[in-house]
Amino acid sequence: MRLRKHRPKAFGLNLIVALSVLALGAASAQASGEFELLDSGQLKTFLQHGITSESATVHLDTALGAILSVAGLGFELKCTAVIASGLTVQAHGLLLGRLLYTGCTALESSALLHELPCSVSDKGGHEQLGKILTNLIHGLLFLHGTKNYILVKPDPPATSFANLVLKGAECPISGLYEVAGTQMLEVKPGHGLGLLVTPIFNSTLFPLITHPKIKFGERNATLSGPAEVLLAGSLAGKEWGAVP
C-alpha cells in the first residue's frame, strides 16, 4: 500500500529536527513527519481530516514473533504476540503508549534454539510469567533520504523500555535486567491497511545518531521481527500511512 507519490522535503533538516526533539518528552516533541488517512475516497493528512490523535493496535508477524538477541550471553528472548496498551497515533508524527508482549520465553542462541529453564516476566509492570509490559515509550516519525523512519525511545521520566526478570533454579542467566537505549524502525506500507515497521541496525545510515541501539543490562542487544500498526477506535479499518 502506497498512499501517495513522494514529495520533496529538506532531508537533512528533517533528521536534525528529529534528533533535537527526541530528547524531549512526547508532550513537547514535534516530529518532522506526518501521518495521512484515506477516508471516503479523500487522501489527506490527519490534521486536514480534522484528526489530532487516534488509538492503534499492533500485530506481530506470527511466524517470526519479536526476538531480542543479546550479545555475549548466548540467549534470545522471543515473544509470540504483542498487545497495544493505550497506544495512540498523533497527527504530527508521534506514537505514544505501552506494549504488552506475551508468549515470551528465553532460548539458547544455537541452531536448535533450545528453550532455557528460565521464567520471563517484567518487574513493576505486568509481573506475569511469559508477559512483558513496557514502560511508556514514544516513536518519532521522520523522513531521511526517500524513506520514513520512526525513532523509538522511553518517554520521560522513564529511562528504560522495560525491566525484565529472568529466574529459575537452573536458569543460567537469572537476574534483573534493564532494557534501554534507542531503536530505529523502517516504515513501509503494510500488507493491509496499516504501517509495516521493521527494526534496523545499520547505524551508518544515520551518522548524526551516536547510539541507535538497544542495551540489555550492560550488553548490546538487537531487536528483530516486523509488526504492522493498524488504526483502532473510530478509524478502525481505515487505510493510513506516513506522508512520503
In this prediction, residue 81 carries a pLDDT of: 93
Bigger pLDDT: 209 or 173? Answer: 173
- Quick check: 38 pLDDT over 70? yes
In this prediction, residue 107 carries a pLDDT of: 92
- Quick check: 5 pLDDT over 70? no
In this prediction, residue 30 carries a pLDDT of: 43
Q: What are phi and psi of 157, to 5 degrees?
A: -85, 0
In this prediction, residue 8 carries a pLDDT of: 36
- Quick check: 42 pLDDT over 50? yes
The residue-averaged pLDDT of 157-180 equals 93
- Quick check: 20 pLDDT over 90? no
CA distance 192 to 82: 18
CB 210 within 8 A of CB 200: no
- Predicted confidence band at 125 (pLDDT cuts at 50, 70, 90)? low
In this prediction, residue 15 carries a pLDDT of: 43
CB 44 within 8 A of CB 66: no
The residue-averaged pLDDT of 108-131 equals 81
In this prediction, residue 25 carries a pLDDT of: 45
Buried b (16+ CB within 10 A) or exposed e, 131-157: bbbbbbbbbbbbbbeeebbbbbbbbee
State the DSSP string of 46-79: TTTTT--EEEEEEEE-TTT-EEEEETTTTEEEEE
Q: What is the dihedral of CA 142, 147, 148, 150, to 10 degrees?
A: -80
- Quick check: 209 pLDDT over 60? no
Give all strands of the β-sheet with 42-45 in edge-to-edge order: 42-45, 35-39, 239-242
pLDDT digits (tens, 9 = 90+) for 151-166: 999 999 999 999 999 9
The residue-averaged pLDDT of 102-119 equals 85
- Going by the DSSP 8-state scheme, the letter that residue 114 receives in this structure is P
- Quick check: 80 pLDDT over 90? yes
Helix (H) or strand (E) holding 223: strand 219-224
Among residues 117, 122, 113, 105, the alpha carbon closest in space to that of 171 is found at 117
171: left (phi over 0), alpha (psi -120 to 50) or beta: beta
Domain boundaries, the chain: 11-242
The residue-averaged pLDDT of 214-241 equals 92
Helix (H) or strand (E) holding 18: helix 11-22
In this prediction, residue 232 carries a pLDDT of: 95
Give the lowest-confidence range in 31-35, 41-45, 153-157, 170-174.
31-35
Give the lowest-confidence range in 16-25, 140-149, 210-219.
16-25
- Going by the DSSP 8-state scheme, the letter that residue 115 receives in this structure is B
Rounded to the nearest integer, the mean pLDDT of the chain is: 82
How many other C-beta atoms can be found within 10 angstroms of the C-beta atom of residue 98?
20
- Quick check: 101 pLDDT over 50? yes
